[in-house]
Amino acid sequence: GYEPDYKNPYRQFDPNLTKAKQLLAEAGYPNGNDPKTGQKLVLNYDNTATTPAGRQQVGIVQKMIERIGIKVESRSSRPNVFQDKLLKGKHQFI
């Protein structure tokens, strides 16, 4: 049934990103930095954004993730190359 007062804990907006930053620190990367090297954590974002609209979408994802201190590198490729990466597990996140 419908519960009007229910708030999904995984869909709550946190403008200060407190929980995300806390989880990042617990994972060993406070402020998105690797404590061993002092370098920013870098995630490779594999995608098929080869059009201007696709690149805008990638830019939005990059900005959202970079707000917590992680650097995002876009790795755009043609759909057939992207599919091959997925099938072979040669991707970091999509």
- Reported pTM: 0.78
Res 13: pLDDT: 87
Tens digits of pLDDT across the chain (94 residues) = 899 999 998 888 899 999 999 999 999 999 999 999 999 999 999 999 999 999 999 999 999 999 999 999 999 999 999 999 999 999 999 9
> How high is the pLDDT of residue 10?
86
What is residue 89's predicted lDDT score, i.e. its pLDDT? 96
Give which of 38, 14, 35, 16 is closest to 26, Cα–Cα.
35
Nearest CA-CA partner of 19 in 63, 67, 57: 67
Determine the Cα–Cα distance for residues 59 and 87; give it in Å rounded to an integer: 25
Closest CA to 86 of 28, 47, 51, 58: 47
